[in-house]
C-alpha cells in the first residue's frame, strides 16, 4: 500500500506542477499516469482527474490573482463555456467505451502537442 501511496503522491506532484506552470494540462498527465501506474480503469481515471484538477485550479487562480492581472471578462465567458462543456462531457463519459475514450483523448493530446509545436 505504501508503494501505491508514493506513486499517487508523485503523480499529484507532477500534475500540480504542470497545472501551476502552464495554467492547465493536469488531465493530460494524471489520466495516463493513473491508468499505467495505478492500474485504474479508463472511466475512473477520467472521472478522478476532474476531482483532482478542481482543487489544483482553485489554488492556481489564487496565486495568479496574487501575482498577475486576470482578464475577468474573458475568464467569465470561458468559464460559462467550460461549465456547459464539462456537463456534456461528463454525461458522455459513461456512454463511451474504453477504447473510444482512449482514442478521443489521444487525438486531443496529439492536437494539443501539434498546436504547441507550431
Residue-wise pLDDT for 85-94, tens only, equals 888 988 888 8
Q: What pLDDT does 83 receive? A: 85
Task: Give pTM, 2 decimals.
Answer: 0.69
100 Rama sector, left if φ>0, alpha if ψ -120 to 50, beta otherwise: alpha
| Domain ranges across the chain | 2-117
Residue-wise pLDDT for 20-77, tens only, equals 777 666 778 888 899 999 999 988 988 888 888 778 777 777 777 776 777 777 877 8
Residue 82 has pLDDT above 90, yes or no: no
Amino acid at each position: 500500500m505504501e508503494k501505491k501511496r508514493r506513486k499517487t503522491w508523485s503523480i499529484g506532484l507532477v500534475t500540480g506542477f504542470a497545472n501551476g506552470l502552464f495554467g492547465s494540462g493536469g488531465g493530460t498527465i494524471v489520466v495516463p499516469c493513473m491508468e499505467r501506474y495505478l492500474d485504474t480503469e479508463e472511466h475512473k481515471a477520467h472521472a478522478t482527474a476532474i476531482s483532482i484538477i478542481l482543487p489544483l485550479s482553485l489554488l492556481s487562480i489564487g496565486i495568479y490573482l496574487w501575482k498577475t492581472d486576470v482578464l475577468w471578462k474573458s475568464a467569465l465567458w470561458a468559464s460559462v463555456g467550460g461549465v456547459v462543456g464539462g456537463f456534456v462531457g461528463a454525461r458522455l463519459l459513461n456512454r463511451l467505451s474504453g477504447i473510444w475514450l482512449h482514442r478521443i483523448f489521444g487525438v486531443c493530446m496529439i492536437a494539443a502537442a501539434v498546436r504547441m509545436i507550431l
